[in-house]
Amino acid sequence: MSATTATARLTTRDIQNLKRRGEKIAMLTAYDYVTAGLLDQAGIEMILVGDSLGNVVLGHETTLPVTLEDMIRHAGAVHRGTRRALIVVDMPFGTASDPETALRNAVAIMQRTGCQAVKIEGGATVAPTVARLTEQGIPVVGHIGLTPQAVHQLGGYYRHGKTAPAAQKLIDAALALQDAGAFAIVLEMVVPELAGEITRLLDIPTIGIGSGPECSGQVLVVNDLIGLNVDRTPSFAKPKADVASVIRRAVGEYVAEVKAAEPAKAKGRALADG
C-alpha cells in the first residue's frame, strides 16, 4: 500500500477483510516512537512490538530476557507514534504460562500501552489461553512454527513442518488457534508449501516470516528491512536500504570534523602572540 494520510485506526476486522479481498497484509516490527511514526506514515497496516527487541535493541542472544515492563515501555512509545496501524504486542517469555496469568498480563499491556492486540507463541496447547483472552475482549494473534521463546526446547532455529507428522501438528495447531478466537496467526520458518496449505485452510489471515509468499501477509523485523544491523541479516530478508552504512559514514565524518577542529584556547593564544 502506498503512503497515506488516513487517520482512522485499523481494526481486526479490517485486517481480516484484507484476506477476504485477496489483498496482502504488510506488517513490520517497531520498538520506538520515531520508527513507528515513519512506518505509519508509509502506510504499514500492522506493527508488531516484538520481543525481538531483546535482540535488536537490548543486545541479548535470545528473546528470553525480555520482561513485561520492557514490552509495555516500548509498546507505549510505538502507539504514541502512530495513528493508523493496528498495534500488536508480544507477550514475552513466561507471561502467558496459563490462561489466568496471561489474562492478567494482557490486561496490563492493553491498559498501559493503548495497543489493539497481543501475540502469543505456541500451538494447540495455548488455545485455552487464547480463548480466555478473547472471551475478555482482548484480540490475539497466534504464532506457530519457529517460536523463539522455545528456542532451547526446540534445539535451535530451523524450518518447521518438513515431515508429515510435523506438518499435521502445525495444521492442527492453526485450526485450534482459529477455533479459540485468534484473529490472525504468524507462521515463522514454516515450509512454504505447508504455509500455503494452512493459509487456504484458515478463514483468518496468516502472516509469514521466512515461510514463503503464499501467506496472507508478511512480517519482518524492521532492522532487517532497512539494513540497520551490527551483525548479518537473516537469509530470508532482503534489505531495501543500508542504513547502517549511512550511520557509520555520518558518524565517521562527524568524528573527523571534531578531531580536525582547532581548539579555541590554542587559537586565542596564537592571535595574542602575533
Query: Among residues 188, 193, 197, 214, which one is catalytic?
Result: 188
Annotated binding-site residue? 90: yes
Distance CA 210, CA 224 (A): 12
Q: With H, G, I as helix, E, B as strand and everything else as coil, classify residue 159.
A: coil
Active site residue 188: yes
**Residue whose entry in the numeric block shows the C-alpha cell 587559537:** 267
Annotated binding-site residue? 70: no
Q: Where are the alpha helices (DSSP H) in the chain?
A: 12-20, 33-41, 53-56, 68-80, 99-113, 127-135, 151-154, 164-180, 192-201, 222-226, 243-260, 264-273
CA atoms within 13 A on the CB side of 121: 19
Distance CA 148, CA 156 (A): 9
Annotated binding-site residue? 52: yes
**Which parts are annotated binding residues?**
51-52, 90, 119, 121
**Which parts are annotated binding residues for 3-methyl-2-oxobutanoate?**
51-52, 90, 119
Q: Which residues are catalytic?
A: 188
**Which parts are annotated binding residues for Mg(2+)?**
51, 90, 121
